[in-house]
């Protein structure tokens, strides 16, 4: 049995100090692209070395644990999505898809509704698709073009896409987080959706109002001609997403369709050009791909050394202390929420954090009379809130890679995630909404 140890979390702390600390130091020194001076995949290497040193057993066993984490099914799936997302974005842009889609959108959507409209579209696609990653990959390139054409702040526009994607990921009944939360808590997906929606809706409404005022001064002065056929790859990708097709197949289909359109519609576009664009898309995902692999290995080492178990144990003890004082379900709900959020900080994966905390959350829910659909909803909400604002999380890393901005600079612009966390805390404090028995 793995012993619980807070020392196992030291590698994560070292990584954060090196990655975030170096960026802040270079920024204070006035260096351009401060957070790119020490890249995350390099900053994590000392943390991995420390995790290996802290591990138990012989060296080969520790390395094997690390490699198993790197090759985890969730990590490999994310890698495939990264590669296909980069390739699709590259090919679609090369054939003029981004420019055509931007100009088409600008011609039909009032300038004052650009950001709210972008949030709603992204949220709808993510809910239908069940994945925030695939949604960000499909919509972020379009959003970047819209920001440039309508003179909207790039960070705010990309943050809007991340917020909409997290809304859908949190609510979708086919999302990994929903499946993990409902299965571990023993409740029906539809019941969890209804409970979840009552908390997410107020946050979404406030976000839409905020975005309306933020884009009310947007000006569209130059709408260029566009060829609708170049918009087709995005339409097909969104349509397949709505139909519930696997995200890998969705992105692969988009790459094929975009390439065929380029070959037919552009005289200077060849199979060699298509191949070069796909490889260029792969290359653009290099940093996030490497980081995801290394984080997977680091997370496996910390878990095997009892770091995550220690964290969950601390949260449970705090819960019991709170429960002993007031005996309310509020103590249980707060402990469930804090536990999954803190675990997500350590794993940078919302689905994994739910799975790690699932059994503990169920025990806490039973002890403190928390309804299963309520505990499932809180698990999903706080894991998605944390994931949506985590600078080394997959969603922000993907969006920042596509927009060529610092991951840390995006954190403050994902308004929906912050508001969802606030509304969820308020719902716990005021015991709202009531779970129907």
pLDDT tens for each residue of 96-114:
887 787 677 667 777 778 8
Report how far residue 290's alpha carbon sits from residue 292's, in angstroms, rounded to the nearest whole number: 6
Task: Of 79-83, 239-243, 247-251, 255-259, give the range with the top mean pLDDT.
Answer: 255-259
Query: To 10 degrees, what angle do helices 132-149 and 232-242 make?
Result: 150
Burial class of residue 58 (count of CB atoms within 10 Å of its CB; 0-12, 13-18, 19+): exposed
Identify the top-confidence range among 26-35, 306-315, 333-342, 369-378: 369-378
Asked if residue 395 lies in contact with residue 133, where contact means CB atoms within 8 angstroms, the answer is yes
Mean pLDDT of 391-404: 85
Residue recorded with tokens 């909803």: 377
- Compute CA distances 240 → 126, 227, 338, whole Å: 12, 22, 36
Please give the C-alpha separations between residue 29 and each of 39, 42, 92, 126, in angstroms, as whole numbers.
17, 21, 38, 40
149 contact partners, CB below 8 Å, separation of at least 6: 102, 103, 106, 220, 222, 223
Report residue 379's pLDDT band, with 50, 70 and 90 as the boundaries: very high
Mean pLDDT value of segment 358-363:
79
User: Which pLDDT does position 32 carry in this prediction?
Assistant: 64
Return the number of other C-beta atoms located less than 10 Å from residue 325's C-beta.
9
Average pLDDT over residues 36-54: 88
pLDDT score recorded for residue 292: 79
Q: Please check the confidence at residue 324 and state whether its pLDDT lies above 50.
A: no
**Is residue 327 over pLDDT 60?**
no
- Rounded-to-integer distance, Cα 133 and Cα 116, Å: 20
Please state whether the predicted TM-score (pTM) of the whole model is above 0.85: no
28: pLDDT confidence band, cut at 50, 70 and 90? Answer: confident
- Which ranges constitute the DSSP H helices of 327-414? 329-347, 350-367, 372-388, 394-403, 407-410
Q: What is the mean pLDDT of the chain?
A: 83
Q: Distance between CA atoms of 309 and 366, rounded to whole angstroms?
A: 20
CA distance 321 to 275: 60
Tell me if 138 sits within 8 A of 94, measured CB to CB.
no
Out of 79-83, 177-181, 344-348, which region has the weakest mean confidence (pLDDT)? Answer: 344-348
> What confidence tier does 129 reach under pLDDT thresholds 50, 70, 90?
low
- CA distance linking residue 184 with residue 351, whole number of Å: 12
What integer pLDDT is reported at residue 303 of this predicted model?
81
Neighbours of 202 (CB within 10 A): 15
Alpha-carbon span 164 to 368, nearest angstrom: 33
Select the more confidently predicted residue: 376 or 248: 376
The percent of residues in the chain predicted with pLDDT above 70, rounded, is 88
**H or E element in which residue 71 lies:** none
pLDDT of 82 reads 76
Three-state DSSP string of 98-110: HHHHHHHHHHHCC
Judge if the upstream peptide bond of residue 433 is cis by omega within 30 degrees of 0: yes
Please state, in angstroms and as integers, the Cα–Cα distance from residue 278 to each residue in 270, 281, 345, following that order.
12, 5, 33
Q: Which residue has the higher pLDDT, 407 or 269?
A: 269
């Amino acid at each position: 049995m793995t012993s619980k140890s807070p020392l196992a979390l030291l590698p994560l702390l070292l990584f954060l100090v090196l990655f975030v600390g170096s960026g802040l130091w270079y920024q204070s020194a006035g260096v351009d692209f401060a957070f790119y001076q020490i890249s995350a995949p390099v900053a994590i290497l000392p943390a991995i070395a420390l995790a290996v040193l802290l591990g138990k057993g012989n060296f080969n066993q520790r390395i094997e644990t690390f490699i198993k984490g790197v090759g985890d099914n969730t990590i490999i799936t994310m890698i495939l999505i990264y590669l296909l997302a980069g390739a699709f974005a590259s090919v679609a842009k090369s054939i003029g898809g981004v420019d055509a889609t931007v100009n088409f959108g600008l011609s039909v959507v009032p300038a004052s509704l650009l950001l709210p409209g972008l949030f709603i579209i992204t949220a709808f696609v993510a809910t239908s698709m069940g994945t925030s990653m695939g949604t960000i990959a499909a919509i972020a390139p379009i959003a970047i073009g819209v920001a440039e054409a309508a003179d909207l702040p790039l960070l705010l526009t990309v943050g809007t896409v991340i917020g909409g994607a997290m809304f859908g990921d949190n609510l979708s009944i086919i999302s990994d987080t929903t499946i993990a939360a409902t299965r571990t808590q023993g409740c029906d997906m539809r019941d969890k959706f209804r409970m979840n929606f009552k908390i997410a809706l107020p946050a979404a409404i406030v976000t839409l109002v905020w975005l309306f005022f933020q884009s009310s001064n947007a000006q569209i002065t130059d709408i260029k001609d566009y060829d609708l056929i170049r918009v087709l790859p995005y339409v097909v990708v969104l349509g397949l997403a709505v139909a519930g097709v696997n995200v890998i197949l969705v992105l692969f289909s988009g790459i094929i369709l975009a390439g065929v359109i380029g070959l037919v519609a552009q005289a200077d576009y060849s199979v060699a050009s298509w191949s070069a664009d796909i490889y260029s898309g792969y290359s653009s995902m290099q940093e996030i791909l490497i980081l995801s692999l290394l984080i997977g290995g680091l997370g496996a080492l910390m878990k095997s050394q009892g770091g995550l178990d220690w964290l969950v144990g601390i949260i449970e003890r705090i819960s019991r202390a709170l429960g002993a004082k007031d005996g309310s379900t509020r103590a249980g709900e707060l402990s469930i929420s804090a536990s999954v959020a803190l675990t997500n900080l350590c794993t940078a994966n919302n689905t994994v954090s739910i799975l790690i905390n699932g059994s503990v959350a169920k025990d806490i829910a039973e002890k403190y009379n928390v309804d299963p659909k309520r505990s499932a909803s809180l698990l999903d909400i706080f894991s998605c809130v944390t994931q949506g604002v985590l600078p080394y999380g997959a969603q922000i890393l993907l969006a920042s890679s596509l927009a060529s901005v610092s991951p840390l600079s995006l954190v403050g612009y994902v308004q929906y995630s912050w508001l969802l966390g606030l509304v969820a805390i308020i719902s716990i404090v005021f015991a709202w909404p009531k779970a129907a028995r």
